Structure 1
Amino acid sequence: MAGSTKDSKENLHVVILPYLAFGHMIPFLHLSTSLANSGIRVSFISSPKNIQRLPSPPHHLSHLIQMVQLPLPHVDGLPLGVEASTDVTTMDQSHLKIAYDLWKQPFKHFIEHDTPDWIIHDSTPYWIADIASEFNIPHILFSVYSASVYSFFGPPEYLADPTKYWTSPERLSSSPEWITFPSSVAFPSYEAPYVLAGFFGTNGSGVRDSVRVATSLRSCKAVAIRSCKEYEGQYLDLLEKLFRKPVIPIGLLPPAVPEKRECGGGAGGEEWEATFRWLDEQKPKSVVFAGFGSECKLSKEQLAEIAHGLEHSGLPFIWTLRKPMWAVDDNDALPLGFKARTESKGKVCMGWAPQMEILAHQSIGGSLFHSGWGSIVETLQFGHTLVILPLIMDQSLNASLLVERGLAVEVERAKDGSFERENIARALRKAMVDEEGESVRVRAREMRKIFGDLNLQQDYIDGFVHYLKKGR
């Protein structure tokens, strides 16, 4: 039964190993909490700095969740103190993967001294296959991406050897032959060459990303997907055929909204209290929440177009923004005079933000974001309207499915992928206030019945826990 605990001798012990990206670590941490709630002992592995930056496990589960710090090995070219993908440029990601691969020995040492019943891991540590085989430990690949994304890339043999199918950018910009039902999931033509080179091509780590995924898929006992049948049942069914092993939807892992508002301490806390007072004064469902996460490295030109797009829309907004690497300071990140011109209409919040509390506020009605899967879950659990501007990785695939299902308004772009402020403003107004966007608003509100149904999501976790216990 969910929430119950047993004697520690009877508890399953699961080791959790995400990649060093917050878009991966956070859902792995949500999964850890859900498993601990079901009485499973969890060892969550990450580096010291990342564990300091991650939320602490709930106090009542502290006896079941062990946050294990494994120092990240030094690698030439990786700046000292860098332990997550958000801290490095796109060009330096390979150095981070090299350091991550050097974790194989420390991780193996940990497994030797505290042998778990299961290892649940990301797709990046392809070397889990060797360790799991040596110690005869069953392991599960946990995907933080949607089922439609994994379905698009096909069976493991096509990932291991791209020449079997992924031979050109054109292949990536149309639905692949194994998706036999109607589907618009594909990359736009301007992005396809970069995906072909980045995912299937060689990189500085010495192991292609597609090979990492293929190796993990081939060796694992099952694949757990952060998804549910109510949203993408056809894709989940297809994955079992493509992978030829169990594919287990574990629910959407919607983040919990803290019962008490978290505003931080000191001056920052006072600033957030003022921001929430401003939100309290706005009309219900009238404010746009804008945020592009920690992984998207916006250029100065892109950030300026987003800023002007928010301004030109005329809508009230709250924008959470992390200082870009190219900016000298917080003020340098924004166009000249932007904050002064919009101070009565919008709020720009630099650095940390209590995102779940913002999204839960009654004045928020829509979200402008990159269409990452985690952000889709967070937004639709409140039934907010989606305005999407995909930028990297899986985001374009997510976006194409959302638009196909009438769940989002996508910002129109030029053939080269660039976007302009006028199109951002137009998309925002369509999604939030224009009559032609009413069907999108209705569909988003309907999705709350799935994405915000905590009982439904718990049923999926219960099913996964049953699989783990049966498999022991």
Structure 2
Amino acid sequence: MADKKQLHIVMFPWLAFGHIIPFLELSKSIARKGHKISFVSTPRNIDRLPKIPPNLASFFTFVKIPLPKVQGLPENAESTMDVGQEDPGLLKRAYDAMEADVARFLRNSRAVDAVDLIDQLKDRKSPQDFTSPPRWVTFDTKVAYKYYEAKLIVGVGEIDSSGFSEAYRGGIGISQSDAVLIRHCHEFETDWFNLLSNLYQKPIIPLGQLPPHFQETEINHDLNWVSIKQWLDTKTKGSVLYIALGSEATPSQDQLTELAHGLELSRLPFFWAFRKPETSTVKLPDGFEERIIRAGRGMVWKGWVPQLKILRHDSIGGFLTHSGWSSVVEALMLGVPLILLPIMADQWLNARVLDEKEMGLEVVRNEEDGSITRESVAQAVTRVMVEEEGNKFRDKAKEAMAHAFGDTAIHDRYVQHFINHLLEKSIISISSSFGSLPTP
């Protein structure tokens, strides 16, 4: 049922699909309550979005604002998945240059009630500082960066080619906002939420986990899914490992090689959604695909896949993931246990949280350089999916499905609470985070 007052909310996410898609899910949740959404991004990014359900389309306006040209930024690069290993500061500089056009749109829009922007929070200086929880974490936890990750994290305090550091961007975004939104529910991370409230000293509004709505009627309209389903239907219940490491970052060639051989070593059937940035040169080991196809044990799919439908299939018994939060939510809302292979940024901490809560198991890496072995991959996979010890991971995933992730009524209440907050205000500026909550 729609609220009596119709809000008009502008969404302007950072140019990464790990941000854009969760913003879109939040927008759909708000539209279901009868409120208008103006979704602002670049033309190419908007054209790549999934279609809005027909019953919500009238609530959406997609605003295409061209990305200003920046010297050195590749032609047609409009998101992080387009820039490969190029300096991300160039994309940030172009994003900053959208300010005038976005401001003009806001001035010309009538009755805009909220503008949604982006955040991160970083502090500390040496790699060693990041390898244990910071002093302001007041409860017992082992969530922290590994040393090889910490060596990369130190760079966030440095000014990049955009002219600002990540720490500055995060701090200014939070300090100038009226409230902070987080993709969070108290049923999952109460301690971290309370800590964040104390640190930010301003309203922190949880949105729930924003689980996507599964459209049953779409199943037979996707030719990719028809072929994939036929293969999955040949496998026994809970026997198949699903692998997807995202499309914006890939393991190194050595890591990819060890991962592939580890899958063979596990002797489990698997479906691998293998996507990589166009600029990436990594490749699967010679003969790998031929061997797994000949043995009838695996499938490598090199295009887009309907991930939610795959995870929902009875044959899926585990998900080897890069630990991006949207993928985590999709798996746990369906009770699928996780094998965690984080590659970058917030994925590292996401993996630590899930490992600590025994909803997944992180693949063991070399602490100095982050390398993996085929044995460590095979051990993690078989431990979660086959061994008796893996019952705890499987049980925890089912508990998550029943409560913190799979109960849509819980998440609907969080969105309604956010809307109620907006109904009490006029125009507000919001800083938001859609990754895992911890930011030590």
Q: Deviations over 1:64-93 (max 9, x none)?
A: 111110011111111111111011123331
How far residue 295 of structure 1 moved from its aligned partner, in angstroms, is: 2.1
Looking at structure 2, the residues matched to 263 and 85 of structure 1 have their Cα atoms a distance apart, in angstroms, of: 32
Q: CA deviation at 1:327?
A: 5.9
**Structure 1 match to 2:420:** 466
Deviation at 1:430, TM superposition (A): 0.3
Q: Are the equivalent residues in 2 in contact too, given 1:72–1:83 (CA < 8 A)?
A: yes
Aligned to 1:446, which of 373, 393, 399? 399
Q: Which residue of 2 aligns with 1:139?
A: none
Say whether the 8 Å CA contact 2:248–2:276 is kept in structure 1.
Answer: no
**Is 1:228 aligned to 2:185, yes or no?**
yes
Instruction: Give the counterpart of 1:119 among 115, 119, 123.
Output: 115
Q: Distance in 2 between matches of 1:442 and 1:356?
A: 20
What is the aligned partner in structure 2 of residue 257 from structure 1?
Answer: 214
Query: Please, what TM-score do these two structures have when normalized by structure 1?
Result: 0.86
For 1:308 and 1:230, locate their aligned partners in 2 and report how far apart those are by CA, in whole Å: 38
Q: 2:249·2:276 contact (CA, 8 Å) conserved in 1?
A: no
CA deviation profile, 1:231-272 (whole Å, cap 9, x unmatched)? 00111111111000011111000112221345776xxx2x54
Q: Hey, what does 1:205 align to over in structure 2?
A: 162
Deviation larger for 403-412 or 64-73: 403-412
Alignment partner for residue 299 of structure 1, among 252, 255, 261? Answer: 252
Aligned partner letter, 1:348: V
**Cα distance change, pair 299–18 in 1 and its aligned pair in 2 (3 A):** same
Task: Name the SS for the 1:60 alignment partner.
Answer: coil
**1:115-147 Cα distance to aligned partner (Å, 9 max, x none):** 411111123xxxxxxxxxxxxxxxxxxxxxxxx
- Aligned to 2:217, what secondary structure does the other structure show? coil
SS in 2 for 1:42: strand
For the pair 1:106 / 2:101, whether they are aligned, the reply is yes
Pick the aligned partner of 1:395 from 335, 347, 350.
347
Root mean square deviation of aligned Cα: 1.7
Amino acid at match of 1:236: F
User: How far off its partner does 1:274 sit?
Assistant: 2.4
Q: Equivalent residue for 2:437?
A: none
Structure 1 residues 272 and 338 mapped into 2: Cα distance closer, same or farther (>3 Å)?
farther
Q: What's the secondary structure of 2:153's corresponding residue?
A: helix
CA distance in 2, matches of 1:272, 1:305: 28
Alignment gaps of 5+ in structure 2:
427-440
Aligned to 1:411: 363
Distance in 2, Cα, partners of 1:256 & 1:359? 14
Instruction: Give secondary structure in 2 for the equivalent of 1:341.
Output: helix
For 1:347, the equivalent position in structure 2 comes to 299
2:154 to 189, 193, 196: 196
Aligned-partner SS, 2:86 = helix
**Separation in 2, partners of 1:327, 1:59:** 37
Q: Relative to structure 1, is the Cα distance of residues 45 and 326 closer, same or farther in structure 2, using a 3 angstrom cutoff?
A: closer
The whole-number CA distance in structure 2 between the counterparts of 1:168 and 1:454 is: 42
Could you say which residue in structure 1 is the equivalent of 2:379? 426
Give CA deviations for 1:275-297 in whole Å, capped at 9, x if unaligned.
21111121111111100112223
The answer to whether residue 103 in structure 2 is matched with residue 170 in structure 1 is: no
Q: Distance in 1 between matches of 2:362 and 2:316?
A: 19
Alignment partners' CA distance in 1, 2:87 and 2:136: 34
- Indicate yes or no: 2:197 matched with 1:247: no
Q: How does 1:6-155 map to 2 (within 5 A)?
A: 10-115=5-110, 116-123=112-119, 153=121
Is 215-224 or 319-328 further displaced after alignment?
319-328
* 1:19-51 deviations in Å (ceiling 9; x for gaps): 110000000000111111111111000111111
Aligned length: 421
Deviates more, 1:37-46 or 1:403-412: 403-412
Partner in structure 2 of residue 361 of structure 1: 313
Separation (CA, whole Å) in 2 of partners of 1:80 and 1:186: 37
Q: Is the 8 A contact 1:320 1:351 kept in 2?
A: yes
Distance 2:187 2:53 in 1: 29
Q: SS state of the match for residue 334, structure 2? A: coil
Task: Work out the percentage of aligned pairs sharing the same amino acid.
Answer: 41
Aligned match of 1:129:
none
Return the letter of the residue paired with 2:172: T
Paired amino acid for 1:226: R
Q: 1:410 to 1:76 in 2, by over 3 A?
A: same
For residues 320 and 351 of structure 2, what CA distance do their matches in structure 1 show? 12
Aligned-partner Cα distance in 1 for 2:364–2:381: 11
**CA–CA separation in structure 1 for the residues paired with 2:269 and 2:168:** 45
CA contact under 8 A between 1:85 and 1:93: conserved in structure 2?
yes
Q: Is the 8 Å Cα contact of residues 94 and 204 (structure 1) preserved in structure 2?
A: yes
Structure ranking higher on relative contact order (CA contacts 8 Å, 6+ apart)? 2
